[in-house]
Amino acid sequence: MPIEIALIGAGTMGSGIAQLALEHGHPVRLIDLDPAARTLARATIEERLARRLARRGLSGAELDGTLAETLGRLTIGADPAEAAGAPVVIETIVEILAVKQALFARLDEITPDETILATNTSALSVAAIAEAAARHPTRVVGLHFFNPAPVMPLVEVIACPGTDPGVVAAVAALVASWGRTPIRSADRPGFVVNRINRAFTIQALRQLEAGQAGIARIDAAVRAGGFPLGPFELMDLIGIDVNLAAATGIWEGFGRAARFRPSPIQERLVAAGRLGRKAGQGFYRYDLAGGPLGPAPEFESTAERDGPLPNAAIVERIRLAIVNEAYRALEEGVASDEATIDLALRLGAGHPEGPFEWAHEWGAAEVRARLASLAADDPDTFRPAASLRRSVETQPVR
């Protein structure tokens, strides 16, 4: 029998990871202090499991039997003390450092030393969370799943300098046994994917802010470039509030560097409750079933609003900003090599190619020249990364 997995926090991520672990045969203990969250989590997991079993061709008594067996391994509770018997505890509560630290301090007291304590934080420092587990911080590790967890193939595994390598290997093997691809990331804001892919939405917002192009044209150009969704469609889907919180966390994490500055357009939409598809309106308007009805009035295309930036330039600027950030992340040792970053952006963000794959197709000299041509307008984003400048000097045009 696979080991028991405890999840603390039964919201979007906790219930998604619980479903994934249940599907792979684990007994799962899902804990949340909010009774409404517990009820919703059980209903959501049951409905999604049933849907997935039906998609696998199961029906009638066979579906009912498998569903009952799977749900029979799920226990839902209120008190983190119930997690004490599980060899792996994954924390998926609110993204507030003090709240996570209080939980890890408690888990450190109530669990045996060998219990692995993982956090699904998206932007907080794993080291700061590990410090709270003062008795035995070396068993704390970051395990960053993407939403929706039962579908997204990538998991970032984040070790602090003090993390026990055995703990890192164990959680990587665990998520690999769930069919996920683990990659290693250093404990830096946004880890690999959320940091490098920040430019995907921020560059699009900058183009909109500057009146260079409208949302529908940017989205269409980006999709034509091979991305599964345009940046405005993506923000509406994940929630403009969620995207703004991630953007703000990373901006703060990088000492408010200009290239990560969140957009005032997003702040305005969040303040107005226009949070995207879940609110019926964001950049686009949606019908009751969540179907898009076209841009919200202020973002509708007009000759003036649709701006002068050609479609090719829209996509090129977004790609260049991503590529430059990928070089910076590699310089800082966020990932060990180019191939890991390429894999992470393909699996974690659905990019058609990784940033280094693009860079090598164009050639480092060309990438550097195109970045340099944009750097006057926005130096923090486009000034070529130091390693890119060096690679051009040592290895001219390919």
Per CB under 6 A, residues contacting ligand NAI are 8-14, 31-34, 37, 92-95, 99, 103, 120-122, 145-147, 242
- Residues 293, 285: contact at Cβ < 8 Å? yes
Phi/psi at 285 (5° precision): -100, 150
- The least distance separating ligand NAI from the CB of residue 147, rounded to whole angstroms, comes to 3
Amino acid at 55: R
Q: Is 15 a catalytic residue?
A: no
| 148 upstream amide cis, omega within 30 of 0 | yes
- The least distance separating ligand NAI from the CB of residue 122, rounded to whole angstroms, comes to 4
d(CA 15, CA 149): 9
Catalytic residue among 194, 197, 263, 391: 194
Tokens 């702040």 identify what position? 267
For ligand NAI, the closer of residues 10 and 359 by Cβ is: 10
- The least distance separating ligand NAI from the CB of residue 38, rounded to whole angstroms, comes to 8
Catalytic residue among 15, 144, 316, 324: 144
- The least distance separating ligand NAI from the CB of residue 321, rounded to whole angstroms, comes to 22
Phi/psi at 309 (5° precision): -75, 120
345: closest CA among 95, 215, 124, 153? Answer: 153
- The least distance separating ligand NAI from the CB of residue 11, rounded to whole angstroms, comes to 2
204, 210, 212, 215 alpha-carbon torsion, rounded to 10°: 40
Phi/psi at 226 (5° precision): 105, 0
For ligand NAI, the closer of residues 275 and 388 by Cβ is: 275
d(CA 301, CA 299): 6
E strands of 265-361, at which residues?
A: 284-286, 292-295
For ligand NAI, the closer of residues 104 and 299 by Cβ is: 104
Q: Is 267 a catalytic residue?
A: no
For ligand NAI, the closer of residues 13 and 192 by Cβ is: 13
- The least distance separating ligand NAI from the CB of residue 86, rounded to whole angstroms, comes to 15
For ligand NAI, the closer of residues 190 and 295 by Cβ is: 190
d(CA 260, CA 106): 34
- The least distance separating ligand NAI from the CB of residue 297, rounded to whole angstroms, comes to 28
- Residues 385, 331: contact at Cβ < 8 Å? yes
- Residues 122, 144: contact at Cβ < 8 Å? yes
Amino acid at 230: G
Residue nearest to ligand NAI (CB): 11
Helix spans in 120-278 (H):
126-132, 165-177, 193-196, 198-209, 215-224, 231-238, 240-253, 264-271
For ligand NAI, the closer of residues 82 and 353 by Cβ is: 82
Catalytic residue among 15, 26, 120, 122: 122
User: Mind telling me the catalytic residues?
Assistant: 122, 144, 156, 194
